[in-house]
A and B are shown apart, each in its own frame.
Chain A
C-alpha cells in the first residue's frame, strides 16, 4: 500500500489544476451546462422543432402549449425554436469574439511586453487611446463600417460578422494589457534567463516558455469575457443595432418580448431565463478556473 502511494507519478501544473477544478462542484455543473448550450447551439437545426423564421398566422401570440412549448411570438413563430437558434447566434458571438480578441490581444500584449522600451510605450499608448473611447461608440462605428461592406453572400454569416468583428475590435484591448503585464513578469523569471543564456531566440522563448506560463490568467479572463460579450450582443440587439430580422438572438428576443411584456409575459421570460442561466454558468466556471489555476487567489476578489 505504501509503495503504491510513493510510486504516484508527479503531476504537471495543468494536471494539478484540472484535478482541483474537478473537485469544484459548482464549476463542473456550470461546465456541463455550457457544454449543453453549445451542443444545442451547434445542432440547432436538428434540435429545434420548427424553423426560426416560419410564420404561422393561425397561431399568433399563443401561450405555452403542447404544440409550442414556449408559445409563439407576434408573427406566429415558435418561441422555443427561436430561443434555440438564438443560442446559436448568442454563443457564436460570445465564443468567437473571445477567441478573436484573445488572438489579437495576446500577440499584441506579448510583443509589447517582451520588447519593452519605445515599442512598448508606443503600443501601450495606442491601447490607452482605444481604451479611452467609450465602447458603445466604437461598436456603433464598427457596425456602420462593416454593414456597408458586402463581404459575405450568406445573410446569416453577414449578420454575424459585423457584430462579431465590432465586438472583437473593442474587446482585445483589455486582454492586451493583461498579457503584457504577465509577460513583463515572466520575462524576469529564472527559466527565461536560463533559456536566453542557452542562446534561444526571443520568438522561441515567447512561444515555448512565456506564453504557456501565462495561459492560466488569460483563460480565466477569457471565460469572464464571454458573458460580457453575450450581454453586449443582447444590449446591441436590444437597441436595434445588433442582428437584423429574421435572425434571432437572445437580445433580439428580449427586445421583442419587452415591448409586449404587459400582455404576453412568456415572450420575455424565456430569453431572460436562458440568458441568466448561461451568464451564471460562465461566471461560476470562470471563478472555478481561477481557483484551480491560481490557488493563491482563492477566496480573494
Chain B
C-alpha cells in the first residue's frame, strides 16, 4: 500500500517534469523561443530617455532607426533600414534621407518622416531632459533649442520636404552623421500615443512600435516577452519569441544555462572565466568600450587637481586586467583601442613615486590626513572585485584608505545625479564608432558627466573637431582634448577596454556578436 502510494507520487512527479519540458513560461513553445537573461529590469523603455544597455537591447529589437550597422562589412558600414537611401550635399553638411513607403507601425498607422521629426523634437525638448539630447547637437540650432534659447522648433535644421524626404541641415560638416541614426534616441516616435497614455506609454498594452518584434509581456523585475511582428516591413524574424529573464545573480543564471532553462548568458563573472572558457558554448568578442572611474571634482579632497592626479597615477591598470584575465586591454587614454583617435601614450600612467609626489604637492604629505573617501560601484561581482583591488592598490601605492560602497543600478544612477560620491565606477559602450561619442561624455554640457568638471577649452575642441572634415586634423584635435582630460585636469581615470564574454547554447545559430555590442535578434535561428 505504502509502496504503491510512493510509486504513484514519484510517477506523478515524473510526469509533471516531463510535461514542463515541452513549454517554457508564459505558454511559449521552447523550440520557437530564444531565452536570454538581461540581468536587470530595464530602467525605461522610452527610447528618447533611456541611457543604459539593458533598455537598449529591448528597444533595438522592438524599434528601428533610419539606418543600421552592417556588421558583415569589416569597415563597419551602414545599411538601409527605415531609410531606403541617403546622400549628403554641401560637404556633408546637408543630408537627405529617402524613407521607405511600405512601413507600418504595429497599430496599422503608416510610418512617415514626421515621426522622425517628432522623435527628434522630443529628444531635444528641454522638458524631456534626455541625457542623449547632445547626440543631435550637430544639427543646426539643435543645441540652442535644447537649452531653451530658441523656443521655435521650426528653426532647428530638420524638415520634411515635399517628396516626403527628411532633410537635415547641420551646423557644420559631420561625416559620421548617419551613424548617429543607428542609435535608439534618434528613432521615430508616436507623439499621439505618448500624449494619450502619458508616462505609461511604454507598457505592453500601450506601446506602438515598428521593429521586428513586439513587446508582448513586461512583468517588472521578472521577465519581458517579445513576439515576432508579423507586419514588419522586411524579412520577418526567424525566431518567434524572445523571453528575457531578469536574473541578477550570475551563478544562478549559469546554473539555469547549464540546465537549458536559458539559452544565452552574457556578463560572465570574471572570476569564473578560467573554468567557463573551456566550455564549447563559450564565445568572446572585443567591444568598443571603456571602463572608468570618475571623481567628483567639487567634493574635497578631489577638488584639488593634485589629489586627482595622485590617484590616477597610483592605479596599475595592468594588475586589474591580469586579475580579470578575460582579454580586456588596460588603458590610460579615453578613446578605446580599435577606434580612430586611440593613442596608447595618452593618460596618467602608473607611477607610484609620481603619485606620491602629487599627493605631497596637494598638501597631504601624511596620507592619513585626507578626509574620508568613498568609492562607489553598482552591485555586481566584477565591479566589486575591481573596486576591492583598487582599494588595495590605493592603500599600497599611496597609503590612502577608501571605503567601498555599492548600490543597485537604478538607485546608483540616481545617486550619481544627486550626490556624486568621491570616486565612482562607470562604463561606456560606443553608441557609434567615432571618438566624438567618447569625448563628448565629458563636456560640461553632457548629462553623462557626473564629475562636476567642465572646461571651456575642452568643450571648444570637441565642438570644433566635429565639424572638421580632414581625418588628420581631427586626430590632432582629439589628441589635444585627451591631453586635457586625462593628463592636465584628470576628472576621470580610464581603466580598461572591454570584451564581451558569452555562453550561447548550441541550438542557437547566428547569435549577434559585434564590436558595438548590439543585439538584434531577428536573424537568430533555433535548431
Contacts and interface: CB of A to CB of B under 8 A. Distances in A.
A264 B269 CA distance: 13
Interface in B166-194: none
B392 A262 contact: no
A262 B254 contact: yes
Contacts of B98: none
Taking each of A60, A150, A155, A244, which has the highest tally of chain B beta carbons within 10 Å of its own beta carbon?
A60
Contacts of A53: 392, 395
A202 interface: no
Interface string A57-81: 1001100000000000011100000
Binding site secondary structure of chain A: loop
A60 B323 contact: yes
Contacts of A263: 271-272, 274-276
B269 A245 contact: no
A244 to B, nearest CB: 6
B255 to A, nearest CB: 7
Contact of B269 (A76, A258, A260): A260
Contact of B251 (A54, A76, A261): A261
Interface string A239-277: 010001110000000000011111110000000000000
A259 B272 CA distance: 10
A55 interface: yes
Contact of A259 (B250, B255, B276, B387): B250
A64 to B, nearest CB: 16
A243 B322 CA distance: 27
A150 B392 CA distance: 22
Interface in A4-19: none
B267 to A, nearest CB: 13
Contacts of B319: 57
Nearest to A159: B403
A258 B323 CA distance: 19
Nearest to A240: B406
Contacts of A74: 270-271, 323, 385
Interface string A25-60: 000000000000000000000000000011101001
Nearest to B249: A259
A259 B392 contact: no
A61 B388 contact: no
A75 B389 contact: yes
Contacts of A258: 251
B218 to A, nearest CB: 28
B323 A57 contact: yes
A259 B251 contact: yes
Contact of A262 (B255, B323, B381, B388): B255
A75 B274 CA distance: 14
B381 A259 contact: yes
A26 B9 CA distance: 42
A293 B395 CA distance: 51
Contacts of B255: 262
Contacts of B272: 260, 262-264
Binding site secondary structure of chain B: helix
A260 B381 CA distance: 10
Interface string B59-86: 0000000000000000000000000000
Contacts of B250: 259
A155 B269 contact: no
A246 B402 CA distance: 10
Contacts of B415: none
Interface in B225-277: 249-251, 254-255, 269-272, 274-276
Contacts of A244: 403-404
Contacts of A240: 379, 406
Contact of B325 (A55, A60, A245, A246): A60
Given A57-B319, A76-B323, A260 B392 contact: no
Contact of A246 (B274, B322, B379, B391): B391
A61 B395 CA distance: 22
Interface in A106-155: 150, 155
B275 A75 contact: no
Contacts of B323: 55, 57, 60, 74-76
A246 B375 CA distance: 13
Nearest to B393: A55
Given A75-B385, A75-B389, A246-B392, A259 B269 contact: yes
A150 B107 CA distance: 59
B388 A260 contact: no
A262 B379 CA distance: 20
B277 to A, nearest CB: 11
B372 interface: yes
Given A61-B271, A155-B401, A240-B406, A55 B372 contact: no
Contacts of B381: 259
B389 A55 contact: yes
Interface in B361-408: 372, 379, 381, 384-385, 387-389, 391-392, 395, 401, 403-404, 406
Nearest to B316: A57
B399 to A, nearest CB: 13
B275 A246 contact: no
Contacts of B249: 259
A245 B274 CA distance: 24
A262 B21 CA distance: 24
B322 A57 contact: yes
A57 B395 CA distance: 16
Contacts of B274: 61, 263
Contacts of A261: 251
Contacts of B372: 150
Interface string A150-176: 100001000000000000000000000
Contacts of B401: 155
A77 B389 CA distance: 11
A76 B393 CA distance: 13
Given A60-B325, A76-B323, A259-B381, A246 B388 contact: yes
Interface string B429-449: 000000000000000000000
Contacts of A155: 401, 403
Given A76-B323, A245-B388, A259-B381, 12 more contacts: A55-B389, A60-B323, A60-B325, A61-B274, A74-B270, A150-B372, A155-B403, A246-B388, A260-B271, A263-B274, A263-B275, A263-B276
Q: Which 3 A-B pairs have the closest CB atoms?
A: A263-B275, A74-B271, A263-B272
9 contacts: A57-B319, A60-B325, A61-B271, A75-B392, A155-B403, A259-B250, A259-B271, A262-B251, A263-B276
